[in-house]
Chains A and B, each alone.
Chain A
């Protein structure tokens, strides 16, 4: 094994982890406001097919991303209306959203199945991309990968350094106090759910338009669920969420290389490995009870009714 292969594995890992980065960061913000949205898988799928159709029709990546975001937002609005306005059970509504998303994305995508898009080559930054080694590690990705890192920085700043982030976290901890201080709990939660939908939408677009690039029914293949698990097992901390996402991507890529080298491990076991490894590692790094208690939003998953309190 030489350094080139390691480099290739690294680059492929970042790409494989990126859909999870988007979806999990979105879910993180949603959960920090106290809402548990289990519909990520469905939102990603609808985002993926919308972005794919936009890309197939116009060939514009920006437009595809906007369409994917819009579709994710629409899906999240259905959920938000059910759980925030009608105060339905969050778990049941989230599950319904996923099932709905799987169905409707397959339905919309009938004509687009196994249509292949022309892949978009990664950014080629003059000079920087040509530097040996460093150019490959830092400057050889798709634009959406850089965007995900910008968003990550923004989210960390927002959550821990801004007043708005403090309000969001406060409402996730104790909506009653937030309400008493004059904040619109429902309004803020709407925004958080919408943000989660938009992010899941971009994650879907990345998968269908840049990563594969192809539309297949159910192509998100459990990544939405893994994103939700990442948020929980990473104890609601953005950097750990990201680490988990790349770990998942890395194990996914490495299992193929292991087979290519002819190392004797059952391929069925290898296919299971990304899920297993990610969860075990995150559970180990986040096993401190105090960290969990400090970071998990206390009101997560509970319905808040302003008038009856």
Chain B
């Protein structure tokens, strides 16, 4: 009897152990380093899926594969949480012979620098960060250029003069986008107001949906977002309002709602950096590319909804941004209190933009602190 009980207990413990450990297998497996090929590693914060931040980066990785063929071997690890887990994944990639590693999320900054110290002969490129080292470069897009252009469309298309913005975290990167969008909209429609809801998450379709619904219920008729999922576009489609997507062209999720999207394109950048490493020309740089560099593009504008004069206006502004005759953050710009913060004739410098922590006139509410 006792023995039987003991046996059952043991069996149960064993079952639990199997259950718990069974699915915690390591994310990346070690591979033999081959000497001829350059191995390039990519660390992604979310699954690739079929739209969004990581999806766009993966398109860039595929472009590298296609361009260099046999000379390069790429590998990616997706869905890597920021923090200690990221450090382990980056170190694994470096150990397994990857000479160039792209880490594609803000929270990988410190892990990347830490691992880079341990592997001084490997090259690292960290996206959206602000810390560099001898073997760590940073790269980022001037999303605000695209945001400004989509703001023009939103300002022209709104009837309620109320625009909605679902935002992730109150960091300069996101605030800059909200400001640029507002300035773009105000440039064609001074009456607009922008409502912002922060959901404190990059990717949470449930919250993104709830926030989108709340904005639409409050009278917003053009919705945009700085979060990763297609939920805002889907919600806009269901509720019969317009949406301006982010990251990828999301028109298939809202054929009527989708006006355009601010998309980022990494093909050129990733191929260039890989080429530099292959030719031993690589240097640690801080790259901040925009429309001019082919890193920011607008998704095809929905011409069924957007009148052609608006499309022309957007194209004209786009050209002016490319040739440098126009800057989205050029004066006069007023802050929320109506005080002029950028005088007419000047524009914000990159340093001002990188540390942006205030709203411009036209945005409701305050930045959470």
- Give the docked Cα–Cα distance between A158 and B203 (Å): 41
Inter-chain contact A96/B368, CB cutoff 8 Å: no
Contact partner of A87 among B8, B13, B205, CB < 8 A?
B8
Using CB atoms, name the residue of chain B closest to A119.
Answer: B238
Give the chain A neighbours of B51 by CB distance below 8 A. 114
Q: Are B210 and A264 in contact (CB under 8 A)?
A: no
List B contacts of A256 (CB < 8 A). 197, 199, 210-211, 213-215
Proximity string of chain B (4-42) to chain A, C-beta cutoff 8 Å, 1 when within and 0 when not: 000011011101100110111000000000000000000
Q: Contacts of B164 on A, CB cut-off 8 Å?
A: 260
> Is the CB–CB distance between B12 and A259 below 8 Å?
no
Could you say which of B8, B79, B229, B368 contacts A267, with CB atoms under 8 Å apart?
A: B368
Q: Are A96 and B195 in contact (CB under 8 A)?
A: no
Cβ-neighbour of A113 out of B9, B49, B231 (below 8 A): B49
B50 near A259: Cβ-Cβ < 8 Å: no
The one of A4, A92, A253 that contacts B16, using a Cβ cutoff of 8 Å: A92
Q: Is A262 an interface residue (CB 8 A)?
A: yes
Contacting residues of chain A (269-308) with chain B, CB-CB under 8 angstroms:
271
One of A8-16, A61-69, A127-135, A235-243 at the interface: A8-16
Contact B365–A212 (Cβ < 8 Å): no
B195 touching A262, Cβ below 8 Å: yes
Docked pose: A276 CA to B218 CA in angstroms: 26
A110-B210 CB under 8 A given contacts A86-B8, A86-B11, A99-B19: no
Which of A100, A114, A266 has the most chain B CB atoms closer than 10 A to its own CB?
A: A114
Residue in B15, B46, B205, B213 whose beta carbon sits within 8 Å of that of A82 in the complex: B15
The yes or no answer to B61 lying at the interface (CB within 8 A) is: no
Tell me whether B120 is interfacial, beta carbon within 8 Å.
no
A103 on the B face (CB < 8 A): yes
Cβ–Cβ contact B20 & A99, under 8 A = yes
In the docked arrangement, what's the CA distance between A87 and B214, Å? 48
B230 close to A (CB within 8 Å): yes
Contact A214 B231 (CB under 8 A): yes
Q: Looking at the assembled complex, report how far the CB atom of A279 sits from the nearest CB atom of chain B, in whole angstroms.
A: 20
User: Which of chain A's residues have a CB closer than 8 A to the CB of B23?
Assistant: 100, 103-104, 106-107
The reply to whether B206 and A262 form a contact with Cβ atoms under 8 Å apart is no
Q: Is A216 an interface residue when CB atoms closer than 8 A count as contact? A: yes
Residues of B within 8 A of A116 (CB): 230, 234, 253
Q: How far is the CB of A82 from chain B (nearest CB, A)?
A: 6
Of the candidates B199, B204, B205, B234, the one having the most CB atoms from chain A within 10 angstroms of its own CB is B205
A266 and B368 contacting across the interface, CB-CB below 8 Å: yes
Which residues of chain A (87-146) have a CB below 8 Å from chain B? Answer: 87-88, 92-93, 96-97, 99-100, 103-104, 106-107, 110, 113-116, 119, 121
A207 and B24: CB pair below 8 A?
Answer: no
| Minimal Cβ-Cβ distance residue in A for B11 | A86
Complexed CA–CA distance, A113 and B215 (Å)? 26
Are A262 and B204 in contact, CB atoms less than 8 angstroms apart?
no
A277 nearest CB across to chain B (Å): 16
Task: Give Cα distance in the complex from A253 to B213, angstroms.
Answer: 9
Q: Is B52 an interface residue (CB 8 A)?
A: yes
- Chain B residues near A121 (CB-CB < 8 A): 238
A264 contacts across to B, CB distance below 8 A? 365-366
Q: Are B365 and A263 in contact (CB under 8 A)?
A: yes
**Complex Cα gap A99–B23 (Å):** 10
A5 touches B (CB below 8 Å): yes
Query: Is A268 positioned at the interface, with any CB of B under 8 Å from its CB?
Result: yes
**Chain B, Cβ-Cβ closest to A207:** B206
Q: In the docked arrangement, what's the CA distance between A268 and B211, Å? A: 14
Question: Which chain A positions have C-beta within 8 A of B199?
Answer: 256, 267, 271
Chain B residues with CB under 8 A of A114: 46-47, 49-52, 229-230
Give the secondary structure class of A's interface. helix
Across the interface, do A259 and B203 meet the contact criterion of CB distance under 8 Å? no
> Is the Cβ of B16 less than 8 Å from the Cβ of A221?
no
Are B20 and A96 in touch, CB under 8 angstroms? yes
Contacts of B238 in A (CB 8 A): 119, 121
B200 part of interface (Cβ distance < 8 Å) = yes
Residues on the A chain within 8 Å of B13, using CB = 88
Q: Is the CB of A253 within 8 A of B214?
A: yes
Answer whether residue B217 sits at the interface, using C-beta atoms and an 8 A cutoff.
yes
For residue A179, which residues in chain B have a CB less than 8 angstroms away from its CB? none
- Let me know if A119 and B52 touch, CB within 8 A: no
Alpha-carbon distance A16/B211, docked complex (angstroms): 12
| B contact residues around A212 at 8 Å (CB) | 205-206, 209, 231
**In the complex where A216-B205, A217-B47, A267-B368 touch, is A100 in contact with B20 (Cβ < 8 A)?**
yes
Interface residues of B in 316-343 (CB under 8 A from A): none
The 0/1 profile, CB within 8 Å of A marked 1, for residues 215-241 of chain B is: 101100000000001110010001000
A215 to B316, CA, bound (A): 40
| Those of A170-221 within 8 Å (CB) of chain B | 207, 211-214, 216-217, 219, 221
Structural contact, A5 and B217, CB atoms closer than 8 A: yes
Cβ-defined contact, B19 with A262, below 8 A: no
Known: A107-B23, A212-B206, A212-B231. A257 touches B11 (CB 8 A): no
Chain A residue with Cβ nearest B55: A114
Minimal Cβ-Cβ distance residue in B for A266? B368
A253/B253 in contact, CB under 8 A = no
Smallest CB separation, A11 vs chain B (Å)? 9
Nearest residue in B to A118 (C-beta to C-beta)? Answer: B234
Which residues in A have their C-beta under 8 angstroms from that of B50? Answer: 114-115
Residues of chain A with a CB closer than 8 A to B215's CB = 256, 260
Report chain A residues within 8 Å CB of B234. Answer: 116, 119, 213
Q: Which residues of B contact A (CB under 8 A)?
A: 8-9, 11-13, 15-16, 19-20, 22-24, 46-47, 49-52, 79, 164, 170, 195-200, 203-206, 209-211, 213-215, 217-218, 229-231, 234, 238, 253, 364-366, 368-369
Taking A12-B217, A114-B52, A207-B206 as given, write out 9 further A-B residue pairs in contact, using a Cβ cutoff of 8 Å, ordered by the A residue number: A8-B213, A78-B19, A114-B230, A116-B253, A221-B204, A253-B210, A256-B197, A257-B217, A267-B170
| Residues on A facing B (Cβ under 8 Å) | 4-5, 8-9, 12, 16, 78, 82, 86-88, 92-93, 96-97, 99-100, 103-104, 106-107, 110, 113-116, 119, 121, 207, 211-214, 216-217, 219, 221, 252-253, 256-257, 259-264, 266-268, 271
